[in-house]
Amino acid sequence: MTWRPTALNVSFLTVVGWALFLAVLTGRVELAVAAVPLVCALVAGRRSGAPSACRIDRELSTTRLLEDECVTVTVTLHAERRLPLVELLEPLPPRVGLERGSPHAFFSLPAGRETRWTFELRGTGRQHLRLEGPHLRIWGPLGLAAAESQHRAPATVAVYPRHAPVRHPPRPLRTQTFVGNYVSPTQGEGIEPGDIRPFAPGDQVRHVNWRATLKLGTLHVTQHHRERNADVVLLLDTLSEVGPEGETVVDLAARGAAALATTYLARKDRVGLIEYGGQPRWVRPGAGRAHLERLLDTLLSASVVFTYVNRDLDLVPPRILPPQALVVALSPLLDRRFVRAATDLAARGFDLVVIAVSPVRAARAAVPRSAVADVAARLWALERRAELDEYRRRGLSIVEWDGVEPLDAALAALGRRWRRRVLAG
């Protein structure tokens, strides 16, 4: 870190030059005298040698947060020698909002003292928020010299997609063997009462249905349905993207996927994720909190990768996409390859629900408002409605979601009975 003269020197020299030039021109000594304080300031503002040393520590309140949540950045500045004026600036990456304070600060510190400076940042989009470290500038007297350096302390905050709770997610048609929240058609240990049958040796006394026994004259027991879990695979379409940065259809789909993953995992289901795009990635179905974090990490980095290589879902191993699983596809349905893959899954008997993330609103937000754009958006919405009807006729269970209304409201349109009829047909 070395001292450098600032542009203010040019201003001082300009005024000194004018004063001396006019003094010579007019022959008046007052003008030369007026230049003396300016020259003295230039001499006083000159700095050489190494500037005062100081120590900077930076702390983040968290390294993981959801969209629209805040992280507090605390910078501690310790002056080993006197610092008349020190400037700190933390450059903010794009898609970060400043909630409180300022990333730019000035301090004046005596030797051996320290000061703290905090500001709050809000992650406004799914991202890896990277802070490189504050820039430091020590100012000389009158701002005529400055020494700059950067305190390199890169830190990353993972901003996960926000997710509202989903109260009524699509119910899976088929259950698995582990204990869960769904009432299975099979009989066994459980809470939900099922059929009544005559007592057989080995039956427990607590299962005896005394009312039926008295009515029929022989011992009868109540059978119960088992509570089972299900496998759910979230299929995220990253083949195409529309919308402004941070609010693209992929961002909206990632939010929906995060909400569904949280909901299903809370119901003891096993949840997997397939990112179907230029570079397919997947997470094997699993359960538990650690698995939720794994899913959120994958959703965090989901993005459109352009490639000429055309891959389909056949390359996905069966353990990633179990045949009994409920597949929830989140897609804008803009790319024919994804529509083909979804139709293929439905034809192969997969329990499939497609959440069609509307690209119309996202695209509308990316272009300036105009009458032509409004008409185009309405026409596109009509065309899209006809297209979705066509897909429904092909046997796909589709709900449309604009990404703004709660996912629960969109899923309410998905009647269980209607889904059964469609699958049976």
Partner 1 sequence: MMRLAALVLLAVLAALALSVRPSAPPVAWLATVALVVGGVGVIAWSVPLVTAAGSLVLIAYALALVVAGPAAEPLTAIALGSTLVLLLALVHFAGRVRGAVLGPSVVAAQARQWLAVVGWGAVAALVLTQAAALLAGALRSASLPMAVIAAALGAVLTVAGVIALVAREARGGPTS
Nearer to partner 1, 36 or 412 (CB): 36
Min separation Cβ 110 and partner 1, Å? 9
Core vs surface per residue 93-102: b (16+ CB within 10 A) or e: eebbeeeeee
Nearer to partner 1, 109 or 339 (CB): 109
Rounded to an integer, what distance in angstroms lies between the CA atom of residue 50 and that of residue 2? 6
What's the min distance (Å) between Cβ of 153 and partner 1?
Answer: 19
Dist. CA 202–CA 193, nearest whole Å: 19
Please say which residue, 23 or 365, places its beta carbon nearer to partner 1.
23
Burial class of 116 by CB neighbour count within 10 A (0 to 12, 13 to 18, 19+):
exposed
To the nearest whole angstrom, how small is the minimum distance from the Cβ of residue 49 to partner 1? 9
Residues 165 and 66: their CA atoms lie apart, in Å, by 14
How far lies 206's CA from each of 202, 210, 238, in Å? Answer: 12, 10, 54
* Least distance CB 155 / partner 1 (angstroms): 20
CA distance to 183, 334, 343, 350, per residue, from 396 (Å): 25, 15, 7, 11
Cβ nearer to partner 1, comparing 117 with 264:
117
**Among 371, 309, 359, which residue's Cα sits nearest to residue 337?**
309
Radius of gyration over every alpha carbon of the chain, rounded to an integer in angstroms? 33
Q: How far is the CB of 246 from partner 1 (least distance, A)?
A: 24
Query: Is-contact 82 109, C-beta < 8 A?
Result: yes
When the beta carbons of 145 and 407 are compared against partner 1, the nearer one is 145
In angstroms, give the least distance from the CB of 48 to partner 1: 5
- Tokens linked to 185: 């058609």
Least Å distance, CB 5 to partner 1, is 5
Check: CB of residue 123 under 8 Å from CB of residue 65: yes
Nearer to partner 1, 35 or 327 (CB): 35
Binding site for partner 1 (CB under 8 A): 2-48, 84-85, 87, 101-102, 104-109, 115, 117, 119, 141-146, 148
Of 3 and 182, the one with the shorter C-beta distance to partner 1 is 3
Nearer to partner 1, 114 or 374 (CB): 114
Which helix (H) or strand (E) element contains residue 328?
Answer: strand 326-331
Largest CA distance in the chain: 133
Least Å distance, CB 151 to partner 1, is 17
